[in-house]
Amino acid sequence: MKLKLVFSYDGSAFLGSATQPHQRSVQDTLQKALAHLGIFSKILMASRTDKGVHATFAVACVECGEYFQDLNYLKKQLNKFAHPYIHIKYLKFMPFDFEVRYDVKSREYRYIFHHGKFNPFLSRYVYFYPQIDIKKANEILKYFIGEYDFKYFCKSGGDSKTTIRKMLKSYAYAYKNMTIFHFKANGFLRGQIRLSIASILKVLENKMSIEELKDQLGAKKQYNHILVPPNGLYLSRICY
């Protein structure tokens, strides 16, 4: 049977989501938790995140024996071994032809800026940054909506066959003393959101023009190579 896992994790505790040689990844930790319960099949992840990136809604899939029927009990036992940095939200049996990665219709991410006084206890989970002009930020974010070749908005080393992606939503909003950037697309390239946000900040700081941003979106020339820190980034939803 195919078992779908929906879970959250604290990315600051891992070297990334995908399996690592030293087994300090989200995937390796989940694999160990499942092995404690006699499930040894390889986990397949719907999305990969870099070191320091968090998730409030990640999805994985694993094959397991038919004797696992009580999913509430299984979830409780898995969380004993997955805690404190991973939390299984719920489990669900899926059809045999379910593809956890290739059946995805869209993915969503949020990036959190905190505008208050620096707090070391929050620094792993938000990016401390001066107040943002949300109206101007939203004017810039609108340029990202649509289908583009994002080759100048991705890190090297990815396994994608094409750098063309379709951005479905891209906007900013305020919450308490924070600004949150929200992105929804049919897929994302490695480092795409962090490079996009860094470019937007450059425009807001008058270090890069709108025309230069448009040229970068048009895959004409790259004006920004810098990424914002990973700690403010969250994988927030995967839709099938």
Q: What is the pLDDT of residues 12-26, one digit of tens each?
A: 999 999 998 877 999
Peptide bond into 84 cis (omega under 30): yes
Q: What is the per-residue pLDDT across 69-125, written as a single tens digit (0 to 9) for each?
A: 899 999 999 999 999 999 999 999 999 999 999 999 999 999 999 999 999 999 999
How high is the pLDDT of residue 153?
96
Detail the residues annotated as belonging to a binding site. Answer: 109
Q: What is the mean pLDDT of residues 14-41?
A: 93
Domain 2-94, CATH number (from 3.30.70.580, 1.10.150.530, 3.30.360.10, 1.10.4160.10): 3.30.70.580
Q: Which residues contact 235 (CB under 8 A, 6 or more apart)?
A: 47, 49, 53, 54, 55, 56, 57, 58, 107, 108, 109
For residue 68, what pLDDT is reported? Answer: 83
pLDDT confidence of 158, banded at 50, 70, 90? Answer: low
Confidence grade of residue 157 (pLDDT, cut at 50, 70, 90): low
Q: Is 159's pLDDT higher than 90?
A: no
Can you give the pLDDT at residue 69? 85
Q: Do domains 2-94 and 106-239 have the same CATH topology?
A: yes
What pTM did the predictor assign? 0.95
In sequence order, the 6+-apart residues with CB closer than 8 A to the CB of 49 are 11, 16, 17, 26, 55, 58, 233, 235
The answer to whether residue 60 scores a pLDDT higher than 80 is yes
Neighbour-count burial of 221, counting CB atoms closer than 10 A to its CB (0-12 exposed, 13-18 middle, 19+ buried): exposed
What b-and-e string marks burial along 30-59, b requiring 16 or more CB atoms within 10 Å of the CB? bbebbeeeebeeebebbbbbbebbbbebbb
Residue written as tokens 């045999």?
A: 96
Q: What is the band of 47 on the pLDDT scale with cuts at 50, 70, 90? A: very high
Binding residues for substrate: 109
Rounded Cα distance between 75 and 37, Å, is 11
Catalytic residues: 50
For 166-197, the pLDDT digits (tens) are 999 999 999 999 999 999 999 999 999 999 99
Q: Where are the domains of the chain?
A: 2-94, 106-239
CA–CA distance, 92 with 57 (Å, rounded to integer): 14
210 backbone dihedrals φ, ψ, rounded to 5° = -60, -40
Express each pLDDT in 87-96 by its tens digit.
999 999 999 9
Statement: residue 66 has pLDDT above 90: no
Q: How many CB atoms lie within 10 A of CB 216?
A: 22
Alpha-carbon distance of 50 to 84, in angstroms, equals: 19
Assign 127 a pLDDT band (cuts: 50, 70, 90): very high
Topology given in CATH for the domain delimited by 106-239:
Alpha-Beta Plaits (3.30.70)
